[in-house]
Structure 1
Amino acid sequence: MFVAVEMVDTVRIPPWNFQRQFNEAIAEELNKKLANKVVYQVGLCICLYDITKLEDSYIFPGDGASHTKVHFRYVVFHPFLDEILVGKIKYCSQEGVHGERNTSSFPPPSSFLPTHLNVKS
């Protein structure tokens, strides 16, 4: 259901974020770009799990931002084929369907995600 997927992306860090810690700025940009988005054949992206590798950063002419190729793992909601979710719908809104199953609610807060996740290549 929840898996950590290895991904690679080029992250653009604008100049006004240069004063921040580099890893924090990258994590924020990745979460802005991917959190709450569905990636085709991957699933619904929840949050950044960890950064595994940072490559060299480049600044292109005419753009003061730093561009860095980042290898990372992202927590993704990916139901398995024929998996059935049983629960009660609390409410529906423009943001999506909110419900609960047993004592937990979905989508779960990131603090309730397991510390050890299956890694999907």
Structure 2
Amino acid sequence: MFILTEMKDIIRIEPDRFKFKMEKEVIHQLNSKYANKVVYGVGLCIILFDVTLVGDPYIIAGTGAAHTRVHFRFIVFRPFIGEVLVGKIRSSSSDGLRVSLGFFDDIKIPASSLQNPSRFDGREQLWVWEYKNEDEEVHDMFMDTDEEIRFCVTDETFVDTVPNSDQPPSMVGGAIPDKKQIPYTITGTIADYGLGLTSWWS
């Protein structure tokens, strides 16, 4: 679920920040720029792990700010395809389920990836697994909001929300999410034994 990713960027330090030690200022700038933001093709950056290289600072004429090339490693949320995670149902619609991990909410489970057979109850606005036991009796297993759910990751989607960018944000340092688009979405399934609400299998 969490990986250690090597990254690089050029950090700009304004003149009024020169009073701080270079190492502490670099750490501050990197966490401010990347922590809790999605970087295209990389994942959701959680927190800086370490800084492996700080280059010599240089000042561009007319700005007064120092620019320093840094190499660093970030702890990133990016589950692998096939990984099984446990979250909570955030909402339901005829399209499927939305799931949250608490710190990451953009997880969808399409209707086609639910336990079969399942139906959407329009009155309750919930999905229902029509579970058939050994005696061929059908039991409605409601997938209530805020219930704990176990799912398997089947796909991931990145959307480059940085305008006029010819390079991925991981290279140019543009990690600003667009409010109109979701920069990183995970798709999952519960259509397998042991998946779905954890209460089903307890």
Instruction: Report if TM-score (shorter chain) is over 0.5.
Output: yes
Give, as a single letter, the amino acid of the residue that structure 2 aligns with 1:49: F
1:86 Cα offset (Å): 1.5
Q: Which residue of 2 aligns with 1:41?
A: 41
C-alpha separation between the residues in 1 aligned to 2:62 and 2:19? 20
Corresponding residue number in structure 1 for 2:68: 68
The correspondence of residues 79-98 of structure 1 with structure 2, limited to 5 A, is 79-89=79-89
Aligned length: 97
Q: Where in structure 1 are there 5+ consecutive unaligned residues?
A: 92-96, 100-105, 108-121
RMSD, aligned CA: 2.0
Describe the shift of the 1:80–1:13 C-alpha distance in structure 2 as closer, same or farther (beyond 3 A): same
Work out which structure has the larger RCO, using CA pairs closer than 8 Å and 6 or more positions apart in sequence: 1
Q: Tell me the secondary structure at the aligned position of residue 63 of structure 1.
A: coil
Query: Could you tell me which amino acid in structure 2 is paired with residue 58 of structure 1?
Result: Y
Please list the CA deviations of residues 50-79 of structure 1 after superposition, one character each: whole Å capped at 9, or x if unmatched: 000111110000111110000110110011
State the one-letter code of the partner of 1:16.
Answer: D
Q: Is the 8 A contact 2:36 2:46 kept in 1?
A: yes
Q: CA deviation at 1:98?
A: 5.5
Kindly report which structure 2 residues correspond to 1:1-121, keeping only aligned pairs within 5 A, or say none. 1-89=1-89, 99=101, 106-107=102-103
Which 4+ runs in 1 deviate beyond 2 A? 87-91
| TM-score, scaled to structure 2 | 0.44
Q: Which residue of 1 aligns with 2:159?
A: none
Unaligned 5+ runs, structure 2: 92-98, 104-202
| Higher Rg of the two aligned structures | 2
